[in-house]
Structure 1
Amino acid sequence: MKSKANTVIHVVQHLAPGGLETLAINMLKFASSTSNVLIVSLDGNKEEAVRNWPILSDITHKLVFLNKKAGVSTNTVSSLYRLFKHIKPQVVHTHHIGPLIYGATAAKLAGIKHIVHTEHDAWHLNNPKHRLLQNIVLKFSRPQVVADAEVVKNQLDSQLSYDRVAVIRNGVDCERFSPDNKNNARTNLGLTLNDTIIGSAGRLEHVKGHDLLLKALPLVHSSVKLVIAGDGTQREALTKMAKDLSISDRVYFLGLVGDMPNFYRALDVFCLPSRCEGFPLATLEAQACGVPTVAHDVGGTKETLCPDTGLLSPVGDHKALADNINKLLSQQSNCSPRRFVTRNNDIKKMVEAYNALSQEEFA
């Protein structure tokens, strides 16, 4: 890889399906034609990552994998230092605490003048060790910190003594995530055309709260079906829970879905029942496709919901979740949540905001 003007290197922990990782990929795809954007993954290797996440296949020439072993690794700092000295990027952009510790430290040692760090959530700062490490690295590397939501900035302000924090909300590709024919979407997914369908998307892990959504479903009208996109360690347990709740005939586990816009278009209501979130992309993607959304009031989720069509439920309260799902299903509204997303969370506007931040730093 040769040096090129306006080279930006994003450093992430791993490249697997997730909001943070999708954001880094979108920042690569929507970068200006004069920018050379690369993504460095601390964990894993290219072959395995592409196999597990096929969307990476189009950008493999822009990806670097360090295959970091578990635990503390001084070799990772050395590897990043050599990479930065060779490529000479104008900007190193880290995401989350691990990449900050390794990436920002190596960038500072390599003489990179512009370092950006985005915090996608701040729950990890409740850990005293994490808070101490982050404070040390911030004082040493002095990056421009970006919070992806006001709630994240407030958490940073309360947990860290750091004065360079801006807010740039996450964005989604509003051209890709757009309304289209619901019946065609359902046909492509093998779903029936006449059912009322609610849906959820995310890793099948405890933190994503799919068990709470399953508990809510018996309290929703018996004609309503639930489809879930995603996979994870909790799939077997969730399948058993659906059977125990006598709702197996109403629940469809689709596994990983390659065409997510098509998934959202098939829905009448989207639901995000997470127990913990930073600034979720799924709620934005669904609403960009014109789908009204119910979510748990966690992290920056409130900031992602259209105030005219979205509803929030208290975290962990499956009865309130069911009430809000029923409320949305019964509402007749001519207002589309898409307008809210295009105004506030278009990926192109987000990239422009980051570019403007960089220009201010270079000035």
Structure 2
Amino acid sequence: MQDTLYKTKRKVVHVVQHLSLGGLENLTLDLLDFSQPSYEVIIISLEGNKRQAILNWPRLKKFSNQIIFLDKPLGISFRILIDLNKIFFYLKPDIVHTHHIGPLLYAGLAAHLLNIRVKIHTEHDVWHLDNYKHRQIQKYLLKICKPILVTNSNKAKKTLIEKFSYPNIITIKNGIDCKKFQPASKILARKKMGFPENKILIGSSGRLEKIKGHDLIIRAIPLLPKNIHLVIAGQGSQYKNLNNLVHKLNLNKQVTFTGLLNNMPCFYQSLDLFCLPSYLEGYPLSPLEAQACGIPCAISNVGSSKETLCPNNGQLIEANNILEITKVLKKMLNNPININPRNFILKNNNIRTIVKQYESLAWRA
């Protein structure tokens, strides 16, 4: 019966706050990229403009005809609500899928006013709900819009139940393209990346912002053996400060910043270990990508990070603790566990499975 239903073309509109490189945004693009032919998918970004977004994130160019930017100003904007109302009226979507509180505010209300039957809202992290104002706004929006409420982790689901007592909250884990991220020759990967071939490589990736804690892993390097080299992939506002820290600690020969990379699988394949020392996280994608490439991970025990780790060889780190980072990394290097974490990712985080789980929600509404 479901196979017959899928033959009917359905139009899905995802609404995000902005389309800049990040886990939530990557996942939304994957939901577009891996959607079945029976779905027509469009992404609306409240903030920004298309030209600048594509310059900053070249992956968007492939989807240029399926993304819309509203150039939202700072603060509350009634124009955005009006614009979304007009867009939804023109597109006549079957499903409006919002990601985070801002899109729920504008697109959730617009979809409600136009009586769009299927509304899905995914909460990608829940730490913002500690803010009383955010919590009250979201409680009101959920009551009015009545979307299918999805979260990406069991921990986040528990928090949402405590905050809202919302019925039938669904957990769908974040996913990655396991065909793109897969194991390969470490030696060849290092040659392609230009990384040292005779060093132990520890890698970290993500936006170079304070929340990601790259300063912590840099400060841990002097406490580790001298044959360890740290490679950090990504770009962001903290690059200058992080680079100054590297110079201050005389780590120029032990730390490399790669900037934004087009070949992230090759980056992960070159590593011995991956470390994500964030101060705050939701359900991060980078540990999934690294483990899909067969690389063991050490990550801060914040948000729902624990649920991204292969239980056989992944290690949690106490947040904001340089000595703990050092201790855990030494333990992993000195006592390696010969179990490939890829199988854990294939079972729990394959994007093709995740997309089917999301698409099935529309038929349950």
TM-score bracket, shorter-length normalisation = over 0.9
Residue 300 in 1 paired to residue 304 in 2?
yes
1:327 equivalenced with 2:334 (yes/no): no
Distance in 1, Cα, partners of 2:68 & 2:319: 38
RMSD: 1.1
Amino acid corresponding to residue 190 of structure 1 in structure 2: G
Q: Deviations over 1:65-117 (max 9, x none)?
A: 11111110111111111111111111100001101101111111111100000
1:354 aligns with 2:358: yes
Residue 159 of structure 2 corresponds to 155
The runs of 5 or more residues in structure 2 that have no matched partner are 1-7
Choose the corresponding residue for 2:244, options 240, 244, 257. Answer: 240
Q: Per-residue deviation at 1:334?
A: 2.6
8 Å CA contact 1:180, 1:289 repeated in 2: yes
* Deviation at residue 360 of structure 1 after TM alignment: 1.2
Report what 2:259 is aligned to.
255
Partner in structure 2 of residue 274 of structure 1: 278
Give ranges in structure 1 of 5+ residues lacking alignment.
Answer: none
Does residue 1:68 correspond to 2:72, yes or no? yes
Task: Report the Cα offset of residue 246 of structure 1.
Answer: 2.4
Q: Give the match for residue 45 of structure 1.
A: 49
Answering whether residue 136 of structure 2 is matched by residue 132 of structure 1, we say yes
Q: How far, CA to CA, are the matches of 2:131 and 2:106 in structure 1?
A: 18
8 A Cα contact 1:135 1:161, kept in partner: no
Aligned to 1:91: 95
Q: 2:74 is matched by which residue type in structure 1?
A: A
Q: Which of residues 75, 80, 86 is equivalent to 1:82?
A: 86
Which letter does structure 2 place at the counterpart of 1:211? D
Superposition TM-score, scaled by structure 1 size? 0.97
CA distance in 2, matches of 1:302, 1:350: 19
1:312 to 299, 310, 316: 316
State the match for 1:21 in structure 2: 25
Q: Following TM superposition, by how much is the alpha carbon of 1:247 offset from its aligned partner in structure 2, in angstroms?
A: 1.8
Answering whether residue 209 of structure 2 is matched by residue 209 of structure 1, we say no
Structure 2 Cα separation of the partners of residues 276 and 352 of structure 1: 29
Where 1:130 maps in the other structure, the secondary structure is helix
User: Which of 340, 349, 355 is the matching residue for 1:345?
Assistant: 349
Task: Classify the secondary structure of the residue corresponding to 1:291.
Answer: coil
- Partner residue in 2 for 1:191: 195
Question: What is the TM-score when the length of structure 2 is the normalising length?
Answer: 0.96
Give the deviation of 1:351 after TM superposition.
0.9
State which drifts further: 129-138 or 160-169: 160-169
One-letter identity of the residue aligned with 1:69: P
Runs of 4+ in 1 over 6 A off after TM superposition: none
C-alpha separation in 2, matches of 1:301 and 1:336: 19
Matches of 2:131 and 2:165 in 1, distance apart? 16
Name the SS for the 1:159 alignment partner: helix
| Aligned counterparts of 1:142 and 1:50: Cα–Cα separation in 2 | 34
Matching of residue 336 in structure 1 with residue 337 in structure 2: no
Shift in Å at residue 245 of structure 1?
2.0
- Identity across matched positions, percent: 43
